[in-house]
Amino acid sequence: MDERIRVAVLAATGAVGQRFVSLLTDHPWFEVAVVTGSGRSAGRQYGEAVNWVVPGEIPAGVADLTVQPTNVAALEGEGVRLVFSALPSGVAREAEPEMARAGFVVCSNASALRMEPDVPLLIPEINADHVKLIEAQRARRNWEGLIVTSPNCSTTGIVFPLKALDDAFGLSQVHAVTMQAISGAGYPGVASFDILDNVIPYIKGEEEKVESEPRKLLGRLEGDAIRMADFVVSAQTHRVPVMDGHLAAMSVGLEREASPGEVREALAAFRGPEIVRGLPSAPTHPMIVREEPDRPQPRRDRDAEAGMAITVGRVQPCPVLDVKLVSLVHNTLRGAAGGAILNAELLVASGYLAASD
Amino acid sequence: MDERIRVAVLAATGAVGQRFVSLLTDHPWFEVAVVTGSGRSAGRQYGEAVNWVVPGEIPAGVADLTVQPTNVAALEGEGVRLVFSALPSGVAREAEPEMARAGFVVCSNASALRMEPDVPLLIPEINADHVKLIEAQRARRNWEGLIVTSPNCSTTGIVFPLKALDDAFGLSQVHAVTMQAISGAGYPGVASFDILDNVIPYIKGEEEKVESEPRKLLGRLEGDAIRMADFVVSAQTHRVPVMDGHLAAMSVGLEREASPGEVREALAAFRGPEIVRGLPSAPTHPMIVREEPDRPQPRRDRDAEAGMAITVGRVQPCPVLDVKLVSLVHNTLRGAAGGAILNAELLVASGYLAASD
Amino acid sequence: MDERIRVAVLAATGAVGQRFVSLLTDHPWFEVAVVTGSGRSAGRQYGEAVNWVVPGEIPAGVADLTVQPTNVAALEGEGVRLVFSALPSGVAREAEPEMARAGFVVCSNASALRMEPDVPLLIPEINADHVKLIEAQRARRNWEGLIVTSPNCSTTGIVFPLKALDDAFGLSQVHAVTMQAISGAGYPGVASFDILDNVIPYIKGEEEKVESEPRKLLGRLEGDAIRMADFVVSAQTHRVPVMDGHLAAMSVGLEREASPGEVREALAAFRGPEIVRGLPSAPTHPMIVREEPDRPQPRRDRDAEAGMAITVGRVQPCPVLDVKLVSLVHNTLRGAAGGAILNAELLVASGYLAASD
Amino acid sequence: MDERIRVAVLAATGAVGQRFVSLLTDHPWFEVAVVTGSGRSAGRQYGEAVNWVVPGEIPAGVADLTVQPTNVAALEGEGVRLVFSALPSGVAREAEPEMARAGFVVCSNASALRMEPDVPLLIPEINADHVKLIEAQRARRNWEGLIVTSPNCSTTGIVFPLKALDDAFGLSQVHAVTMQAISGAGYPGVASFDILDNVIPYIKGEEEKVESEPRKLLGRLEGDAIRMADFVVSAQTHRVPVMDGHLAAMSVGLEREASPGEVREALAAFRGPEIVRGLPSAPTHPMIVREEPDRPQPRRDRDAEAGMAITVGRVQPCPVLDVKLVSLVHNTLRGAAGGAILNAELLVASGYLAASD
């Protein structure tokens, strides 16, 4: 008897949706029971409707599912309790609250609700305790279900070293320049005509996310709200001709003085809280510190710990702020589908999603 | 009768040397009379010895020259008065002073002598007046000839907007993250095995140059020395899979407050001094300000004004320092060979190199 | 008084349309008077409506034109006599004949009518005499205007060496494997998600064109029809991560035996007919033969003769057919807009388009 | 007790050598006991001497080994019986026979001895029976050890479909145009300056290998020699900006007529001999036939079956020969280190290498 939790993947035909489907194959706790898509694909077999662009083949069990429209009705009667959302932000803003109201647990990768005061913006290793914000969410909204969100892919790469530095020395200012992979724009996403032999110094809406989300992630849960951390972030985001892996060149101002050696130690000592360690998708080392002068690199480091580890390096004193470093995240694994799945695992571990009914 | 000044190109078979040869074809003031190379190529015909990697064909008049060894003897008896150096730094440190001592005017692209107190580090639009440092150089060293140097390619892209901002508002702090083209590493340079589908967050020796050279370029000539400008620069340099064009994401702290509009105006108003404007290689607009949200881009903007204009854009307020912007330079044209040729033209215009004997 | 012929560019906002606009700037015989576009752009200023993706800036004179809908009415009253079409094939099939009927001279880059028996498929250096097929076209269709077409971009690269070999030795069989640039797919065209670090062994409809068009181009005008040449072509077409320049690896069976040396001579001797040589867009050397073992290369050879010359190389005996070689064409210049403009120039030179009314 | 066969990897610091080291980690039958390198690295720890460029980290057990010089003495006293050679051809020609003479079993990826009449050129699924040529080798050379070789990486991709077609219909002529990944040139290999935004239509020595090796692989073992198959191969080889995966566009002349459907069936039915199927590195499906019009693609198909399966597709009738198709091989896995390891496994299975002493 399979006791796995039946899940739905919303917008399952897109690039991030495909990553969800791919990562959930053989997941020990979850199994894909429903896939949804837009008008064009709804009603067709998933294997026919999808233009499969992620590595590997379409999982056999999912290929045969009929793509459903993205609404509550499609989830009911299927035994689904957990929903992974790869919806575009505009659609997510309406659809996700309806599902939470109808009793579903929604783990969303969309940006729509990330900054809502009563919606946890969650990375288990960073702020697992923010999960308790769900109490306020349910109280205020009278939902049977719930919504938790995962941050922007670039935010994810940046916030790991920030967390370690904040804990050890306090943060005052952060300057981050990202070099982001084309997979971050989904499919078809960036035209090759635009990005071959080129860099594009602009990603719509991205700088705003990178400047605000870290302050919520590193904020403090006080009563029924998150008090935003009070450091300042300045971001400049770029698209580069790389398939996967967002690199960020960071410069950080600290509240207490620290030598590069102390910074390196603080980074290397980072583990995240106990509750995360046994989770199926949790990396053994959530943040890897490399000592070589030329690492991290997207192609060489993005797949560390199955794409779930952040890799940092090039820790140096900064003449303007205090310390410089470079951070890398696999944007569609840890930075999108993998991060949302780890969030769902945390919900199970913290009792917000029963392992079986 | 051709009255053009006969010039030598040192290390003419390398990638920057080839750019010199290519740009000097049909130059109205200069003509290539001597090309030098390392032991492997010396004695062979240039057209045979060179692995021509820059656009266009090898200029016919140069293809037939015999490659000479890089020393004073090779220049004598050829009527050469001007020398363009694309030498590696280690070789330049010995060879260039010997040539200056022997009476040659040396315009060097090498880093060896850039920071010497009595050697001008020159960009005509930025600090044409530093050319007078030559007086001190000659007095101290007792040279008949002289040496002027051009800065690192990334420095060049960064210092144009810095100059405009310094003049208008004063500079306090600069943070610069570069994304540099592979041509900056010469030939063969960066292995495709390292850079395809990748970014390398390290270029040996580059951050040091970008952190120090702007302070000399924007310094003040006081008596027989340059007083370094007193702002601070922090640099993080990256290699990206782009052929030509170094992009820099910059954040700048100003001494006087300025709105983004005032910053844009100050940038757009930049012209450089009168003496530069008629020079053969001088761009009509040395710095182009683009208003589109996604410019400058290396492939689309590097060739502006025959690769001699800097292009800036994305002027925004910076939450950490004062203003953010992005700057682009064609690294092998304005940032290397083209810059050194413009320096030589300035030497003619300012009387340090007679147009004819 | 400007006596240049006023022209319209159909589908002027697309990638090939932009190349037309760019190449026609400062053309000695033609000037752009009308630009047309699809419903989305019609009525807007060209400079606003276009997402300019080709090198250089939007020509000032064209940026201010209002984009017209693509129909006969838009051309009338503007003094236009010549029309360059970058229309998609489906639209071209209807619109181009209507314009020819209304008296316009249409030089089309679309594939729709290329293989019509009474429509010349034209490359001036290859089959300038096919222009006389216009007589049959007018007789049969009762048009005041006319249509001539230019071939597929890959066909163009292949047919130059084939013409030289056919004239010298006769052709029996041709095998061609193309490696095509992403600009050939227009804008946005190929997703970077599909082509970065990849090759796609399929271009919809391309192999059929490459297998049929060369037989018409090298066919013989007999009375009021073209008798197709009777050699056989087999094509395999691929997309590669290159911006511009289609490379073709060819193997050719000849009717008369020929050594590689004789083949090289026949290729090098190719000039095209007298009538083409003085035309404004005609390259001095329409086909360049390179002797280096590793040429032609797309990035290094595509811009030869302003992108209007074909470059061939690697001539070797073929163990299966008779001779192997590699050919390169700049796909959006010679292979698209530039080729159609040269066709129009031929129409002027051969009296089908009066230089002035 | 570990009963694994102790092996040496020759030229272990190069790109193919690293693939050997990587693939042999956790191999059930073999364990790396000795690594050799050139003068520069000999005497240093492998982890220090190697510039690790293949995915994953340096295996801990190998990182600590001291790099040995490449000679017989380095192998003796270490309990080594099996040697994997990634030597350059010039060195292999001397070193490999010495090792075979000294009693070692040498599985070589070098080209030096591939076409020697008494040296098996081996792909287990293609010509496992050629292993018996070892008898003639030992008889003639009086070696205690032996040498088997694996073919060129492009040959490997081409010969799988050829084998299936030869068995089913007989082969007369083969035309193959390859598009090869940059990893095939080793490290540093192809300069990014040469290959970014480019294709290079030349790989030194490659066409000769692709034209000759398939005839030996598909030849027949007759007595103490291989009788070469009598079909003819014509090859044109290209380098493309792809990391891994060599694609070949093939056109094949058959001895018996066959429809595309029959050809597809013959390809899909290919399995290879019984003896190969249980081997640790053998793929379940050695040749995968894809039906989509745009497959195989290097990035999407190279990792099929851990990089050990060939993927073919685009089976179509050929107007010049009989059938066209496209084939893909992972050049450094199946086409190099993986292929040589599978050869060694075949030697164990066929009794030429005892599983334990």
> Helices C153-169 and C260-268 sit at what angle, rounded to 10 degrees?
120
Euclidean distance between CA atoms D108 and A269, whole angstroms: 45
Per residue in C264-316, pLDDT (tens digit) is 999 999 999 999 999 999 999 999 999 999 999 999 999 999 999 999 999 99
- Confidence at residue A2, expressed as pLDDT on a 0 to 100 scale: 61
pLDDT-derived band of residue D39, with 50, 70 and 90 as boundaries?
A: confident
Q: Which residue of B has its CA nearest to A237?
A: B249
Q: What single-letter amino acid sits at C240?
A: V
**DSSP run (H or E) holding C174:** strand C171-180
List the single residue in D with minimal CA-CA distance to C326.
D201
Among D334, D293, D341, residue whose Cα is nearest residue D159 = D334
How many Å apart are CA D269 and CA D165, to the nearest integer? Answer: 11
Four-residue CA torsion sign, D277, D278, D279, D280: positive
Q: What is the 3-state secondary structure of C32-64?
A: EEEEECCCCCCCCEHHHHCCCCCCCCCCHHHHC
For the segment A225-247, what is each residue's pLDDT rounded down to a tens digit?
999 999 999 999 999 999 999 99
Judge whether A356 lies within some domain.
Answer: no
Tell me: do D106 and D192 sit in the same domain.
no
* pLDDT at residue D357, rounded to an integer: 55
Q: What is the mean pLDDT of chain C?
A: 96
Chain A residues inside the 8 Å CB shell of C190: 191-193
Same domain flag for B94 and B123 = yes
Mutation target to probe the C interface, by most C beta carbons within 10 A, among A192, A196, A202, A302 is A192
Q: Kindly indicate the confidence band of residue C3, based on its pLDDT and cuts at 50, 70 and 90.
A: confident
Residue of chain C with shortest Cα separation from A183: C193
Residues B159 and B263 in one domain: yes
- Residues D104, D180 within the same domain: no
Same domain, D298 and D196: yes
Chain C residue nearest residue B48, CA to CA: C292
**Interface size, chain A vs chain B, as Cβ–Cβ contacts under 8 Å:** 129
Q: Which residues contact C118 (CB under 8 A, 6 or more apart)?
A: C133, C136, C137, C140, C141, C224, C225
Number of domains composing chain C: 2
pLDDT tens, position by position, A52-97: 999 989 999 999 999 999 999 999 989 999 999 999 999 999 999 9
CATH of the domain at C84: 3.40.50.720
Who among A55, A196, A197 is closest to D303 (CB)? A55
Over the stretch D49-106, which tens digit does the pLDDT of each residue have?
Answer: 999 999 989 999 999 999 999 999 999 989 999 999 999 999 999 999 999 999 999 9
CB distance D315 to D263 below 8 Å: yes
SS3 of chain A: the string is CCCCEEEEEECCCCHHHHHHHHHHCCCCCEEEEEEEECCCCCCCEHHHHCCCCCCCCCCHHHHCCECEECCHHHHCCCCEEEEEECCCHHHHHHHHHHHHHCCCEEEECCCCCCCCCCCCECCHHHHHHHHHHHHHHHHHHCCCCEEEECCCHHHHHHHHHHHHHHHHHCEEEEEEEEEECHHHHCCCCCEHHHHCCCCECCCCCHHHHHHHHHHHHCCEEECCEEECCCCEEEEEEEECCCCCCEEEEEEEEECCCCCHHHHHHHHHCCCCCHHHHCCCCCCCCCEEECCCCCCCCHHHHCCHHHHCCEEEEEEEECCCCCEEEEEEECCCHHHHHHHHHHHHHHHHHCCCCCCCC
Helices within C197-239 (DSSP H only)? 206-217
Partners of residue A241 in chain B, C-beta under 8 Å: 197, 240-242
Domain boundaries, position D131: 5-152+337-349
Position C355 in a domain: no
End-to-end CA distance of chain A: 14
CA dist D322 and D317 (Å) reads: 6
Radius of gyration for chain A, computed over Cα atoms and rounded to the nearest angstrom: 20
- Identify whether residues A87 and A195 lie together within a single domain: no
CB C105 within 8 A of CB C352: yes
pLDDT of residue D1: 42
CB A109 within 8 Å of CB A70: no
Would you say residue C2 has pLDDT above 80?
Answer: no
From the CA of A211, how many Å to the nearest CA of chain B? 9
Q: State yes or no: pLDDT of C331 exceeds 60.
A: yes
Q: Is the pLDDT of residue A357 over 70?
A: no
Determine the pLDDT at residue C196. 98
Interface chains of chain B (3 or more CB pairs under 8 Å): A, C, D
Section C67-80 average pLDDT: 95
For residue B194, is it within any domain?
yes
Q: What is the pLDDT of residue B3?
A: 85
Catalytic residues of A: 153, 246
Catalytic positions of B are 153, 246
Measured CB to CB, residues of chain B less than 8 Å from chain A are 173-175, 177, 179, 196-202, 211, 232-234, 236, 238, 240-243, 247, 249, 251, 253, 293-300, 313-314, 318-321, 324, 326
pLDDT grade, residue A1 (50/70/90)? very low
Same domain, residue pair A262 and A322: yes
Q: How many residues are given for chain A? A: 357
Q: Contact A319/A252 with Cβ under 8 angstroms? A: no
**Residue B126 placed within a domain:** yes
- Closest residue in B to C195 (Cα) is B197
Burial class (CB in 10 A: 0-12, 13-18, 19+), D77: exposed
Mean pLDDT (whole number) for D236-249: 98
Tell which residue, C193, C182, B196, B199, has the closest CA to residue A183.
C193
Q: pLDDT tens, A180-194?
A: 999 999 999 999 999
pLDDT of residue D275: 96
Where do we find the tokens 């899909």?
D268
- Which among B196, B243, B300 has CB closest to C197? B196
**Amino acid at residue number B291:** E
Cis peptide before C69 (omega within 30 of 0): no
Task: With cut-offs at 50, 70 and 90, classify the pLDDT of residue D171.
Answer: very high
Co-location of A165 and A178 in the same domain: yes
Domain co-membership, B174 together with B126: no
Q: Looking at the structure, do residues B52 and B171 belong to the same domain, yes or no? A: no
- In angstroms, rounded to a whole number, what is the distance separating the alpha carbons of residues C249 and C326? 5
D203, part of any domain = yes
- Asked if residue D297 belongs to a domain, the reply is yes
Contact yes or no for A303 and D55 at CB 8 A:
yes
CA distance A189 to chain C (A): 7
The length of chain D in residues reads 357
Min Cα separation A51/chain C (Å): 11
Q: Which of D191, C194, B329 is nearest to A193 (CA)?
A: C194
Structural domain contains residue D356? no
Cα R_g (chain C), whole angstroms: 20
Supply the DSSP symbol for D58.
P
pLDDT of C1 above 70? no
User: B210: closest CA among B243, B178, B182?
Assistant: B178
C318 annotated active-site: no
Question: What is the sign of the dihedral through the CA atoms of A222, A227, A231 and A233?
Answer: positive
Q: What is the mean pLDDT of each run of 10 residues along chain B (357 residues)?
A: 87 96 96 94 96 92 96 94 97 97 97 96 98 96 97 98 98 98 96 98 98 98 95 98 98 96 96 95 97 97 97 97 98 97 98 81
D72, D113 in Cβ contact below 8 A? no
| CA D283/CA D301 separation, integer angstroms | 14
What is residue B307's predicted lDDT score, i.e. its pLDDT? 98
Look-up of token digits 């050049």: D331
Continuous segment of H or E residues that includes residue B20: helix B15-24
Interface of A with C (CB under 8 A): 15, 53, 182-183, 187-197, 241-243
A-contacting chains (≥3 CB pairs under 8 Å): B, C, D
Q: Can you tell me the mean pLDDT for A257-264?
A: 95
Nearest to A201 among B196, B319, B326 (CB): B326
Q: Which residues of A touch D300 (CB under 8 A)?
A: 55
Q: What is the DSSP string of C102-143?
A: TT-EEEE--STTTT-TTS-B--HHHHGGGGGHHHHHHHHH--
Cβ A192 vs Cβ A166: under 8 Å = no
Interface of D with C (CB under 8 A): 173-175, 177, 179, 196-202, 211, 232-234, 236, 238, 240-243, 247, 249, 251, 253, 293-300, 313-314, 318-321, 324, 326
Q: How does pLDDT run across C164-192, given as a tens digit for each residue?
A: 999 999 999 999 999 999 999 999 999 99
Alpha helices (H) in chain D, listed in sequence order: 15-24, 46-49, 60-63, 72-75, 89-101, 124-127, 133-141, 153-169, 192-195, 206-217, 260-268, 274-277, 298-301, 338-349
Q: Residue B219 sits in a domain of what CATH number? A: 3.30.360.10
The residues, ordered by sequence, that sit 6+ positions from A112 with a Cβ below 8 Å of its Cβ are A87, A89, A90, A92, A93, A96
- Which helix (H) or strand (E) segment holds residue C172: the answer is strand C171-180
Are the Cβ atoms of D236 and C296 closer than 8 angstroms?
no
Please list, in sequence order, all residues whose beta carbon lies within 8 angstroms of the beta carbon of residue B123, skipping any fewer than 6 positions away: B150, B151, B156, B159, B160, B217, B339, B342, B343
B78 and B206 assigned to the same domain: no
Interface with C, mutate which of A54, A196, A240 (most C CBs under 10 A)? A196
β-pairing verdict for B30-37 and B5-10: parallel
Which residues in chain C have Cβ-Cβ distances shorter than 8 Å to D179? 179, 199, 238, 240
Predicted confidence at residue A355, as pLDDT, reads 74
What residue in A sits closest to C54 (Cα-Cα)?
A193
pLDDT tens string A9-31: 999 999 999 999 999 999 999 99
What percentage of chain D exceeds 70 in pLDDT? 99
Report d(CA A343, CA A338) in Å as an integer. 9
Question: Both C244 and C323 in a single domain?
Answer: yes
Q: Which residues contact B57 (CB under 8 A, 6 or more apart)?
A: none
Q: Is residue B40 part of a domain?
A: yes
Give the pTM: 0.96
How many Å apart are CA C63 and CA C45, to the nearest integer? 7
